[in-house]
């Protein structure tokens, strides 16, 4: 079979080709094959083998020629093909792709109107490279509505000014929290980092102290842990130590101040140490006795219950930034225990607790995790997948949405 019969090119087709030293030999071979097949080839260089040459010097002019319609299609080659692909796609109107398999060479044109193929001169051999080019040049854009719609979006992107800065966290929230899906409630309760008074073990209620330098360092790690979690609500105590913790975790922008998350009001015991109070009241326990001129156990219980009622009206992942002893009470009340059992749930500075309902018995509140420091939570999967679909279902749905067609791979008797 003749080369011309294999390629079936129109003699009027004009092909641009460009390569640096890494693709020089492959460019020579493909140029020869193309001309034998009846194509008109414009060589954009490098014309000689120069080991120090740079692929942008040759690929950019060829890419501009493709975008302007001066050549019908383009071929760009460098050592791996990656650099040529990167620079070609910087030119508006160019749709370039690094291709290593015949299916992509054809499908890229039929679905995505690929107009420039990139090859790795040190990656693919001559026979495969020729097959890739042949598939690329003999394929045509299908023109189907879904493909035109997608290409219009690409064109709009090329011709639009840069959008406002979008953080990766914003993207994670959009992709992990689809609108209209009510995810199960899961509460991430974080105690603020260290302050001067937590370090010296002084009761800190209404006193508005900042975090220490160590306190700031120890909460930053939660920002990395929470990076991919889409939070539907973020609530924080009004005290600056909690608000600063929220900020360092990276959730301040979405945060709402909630007075019910404030620490226990210690009244006359504000700023005092436990040992000093016990000298005057040997059996004193805040969870049992409360504080004179401060909050009683009944008052703190009512406050926790009020917060829990509001939390149960929410869905999805909720972040709370609060304090040690109020968080202990919240944990006890979450599972229906009286305030006195708050002493069984100590929460250290910069530590995390997770409150939720049992997956198999949604009416049963549980504590999934408690008093976990960031370095202790490496085993936790802090990524919130969409529970509506399994991994396999999501993959099938994506394939269907793309209009994919699975070829018949059943071997015949002749194979």
Token pair 């004179």: residue: 292
Assess whether pLDDT exceeds 80 at residue 8.
Answer: no
Least confident of 9-23, 118-132, 175-189, 295-309: 175-189
Prediction pTM value: 0.54
Summarised one tens digit per residue, pLDDT across range 30-73 is 999 999 999 999 999 999 999 999 999 999 999 999 999 999 99
Choose, from 194, 247, 263, 295, the residue flagged as catalytic.
263
Q: Do domains 3-158 and 170-391 have the same CATH topology?
A: no
SS3 letters across the chain: CCHHHHHCCCCCCEEEEEECHHHHHHHHHHHHHHHHCCCEEEECCCCCCCCCCCCHHHHHHHHHHHHHCCCCEEEEEECCCHHHHHHHCCCCCCCEEECCCHHHHHHHHHHHCCCEEEEECCCCCHHHHHHHHHHHHHCCCCCCHHHHHHHHHHHHHHCCCCCCCCCHHHHHHHHHCCCCCCCCCEEEEEECCCCHHHHCCECCCCCCCCCCHHHHHHHHHHHHHCCCCCEEEEEECCCHHHHHHHHHHCCHHHEEECHHHCCCCCHHHCCCEHHHHHHHCCCCCHHHHCCCCCCCHHHHHHHHHHHHHHHCCCCCEEEEEECHHHHHHHHHHHCCCCHHHHHHCCCCCCCEEEEEECCCCCCCEEEEEEEECHHHCCCCCCCCCCCCCCHHHHHHHHHHHCCCCCCCCCCCCCC
- CATH architecture of structural domain 3-158: 3-Layer(aba) Sandwich (3.40)
**Overall fold of domain 170-391:** Rossmann fold (3.40.50)
Summarised one tens digit per residue, pLDDT across range 175-199 is 444 544 578 999 999 999 999 999 9
Token code pair at residue 320 = 């709370």
Highest-confidence segment of 150-159, 218-227, 230-239: 230-239
Domain parsing of the chain, residue ranges: 3-158, 170-391
Indicate if 388 belongs to the active site. no
Indicate if 263 belongs to the active site. yes
Summarised one tens digit per residue, pLDDT across range 95-105 is 999 999 999 99
Summarised one tens digit per residue, pLDDT across range 386-398 is 444 455 555 555 5
What is the pLDDT at residue 229?
A: 87
Choose, from 192, 218, 233, 295, the residue flagged as catalytic.
192
Token pair 């917060």: residue: 307
């Amino acid at each position: 079979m003749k080369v011309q019969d294999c390629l079936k090119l129109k003699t009027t087709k004009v092909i641009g080709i460009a390569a640096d030293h890494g693709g020089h030999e492959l460019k020579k071979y493909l140029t020869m094959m193309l001309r034998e097949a009846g194509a008109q080839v414009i060589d954009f260089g490098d014309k000689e083998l120069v080991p120090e040459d740079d692929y942008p010097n040759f690929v950019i002019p060829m890419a501009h020629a493709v975008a302007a319609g001066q050549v019908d299609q383009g071929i760009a080659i460098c050592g791996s093909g990656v650099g040529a692909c990167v620079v070609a796609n910087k030119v508006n109107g160019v749709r370039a792709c690094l291709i290593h398999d015949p299916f992509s060479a054809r499908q890229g044109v039929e679905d995505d109107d690929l107009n420039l193929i990139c090859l790795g001169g040190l990656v693919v051999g001559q026979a495969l490279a020729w097959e890739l080019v042949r598939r690329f040049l003999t394929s045509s854009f299908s023109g189907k509505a879904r493909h035109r719609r997608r290409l219009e979006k690409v064109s709009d992107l090329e011709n639009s000014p840069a959008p406002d800065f979008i953080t990766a966290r914003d993207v994670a929230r959009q992709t992990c929290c689809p609108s209209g899906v009510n995810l199960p409630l899961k509460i991430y309760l974080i105690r603020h980092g260290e302050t001067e008074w937590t370090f010296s073990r002084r009761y800190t209620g209404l006193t508005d102290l900042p975090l220490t330098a160590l306190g700031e360092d120890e909460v930053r790690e939660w920002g990395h842990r929470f990076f991919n979690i889409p939070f539907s609500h973020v609530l924080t105590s009004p005290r600056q130590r909690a608000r600063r913790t929220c900020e360092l975790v990276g959730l301040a922008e979405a945060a709402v101040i909630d007075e019910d998350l404030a620490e226990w009001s210690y009244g006359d015991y504000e700023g005092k140490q436990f040992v000093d109070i016990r000298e005057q009241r040997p059996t004193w326990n805040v969870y049992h006795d409360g504080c004179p001129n401060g909050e009683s156990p009944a008052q703190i219980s009512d406050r926790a219950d009020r917060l829990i009622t509001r939390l149960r009206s929410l869905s999805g992942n909720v972040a709370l930034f609060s304090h040690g002893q109020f968080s202990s009470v919240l944990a006890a009340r979450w599972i229906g225990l009286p305030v006195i059992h708050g002493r069984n749930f100590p929460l250290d500075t910069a530590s995390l607790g997770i409150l939720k309902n049992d997956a198999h018995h949604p009416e049963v509140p549980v504590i999934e995790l408690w008093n976990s420091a960031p370095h202790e939570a490496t085993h936790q999967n802090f990524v919130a997948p969409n529970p509506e679909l399994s991994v396999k279902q999501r993959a099938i749905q994506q394939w269907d949405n793309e209009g994919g067609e699975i070829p018949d791979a059943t071997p015949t008797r002749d194979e």
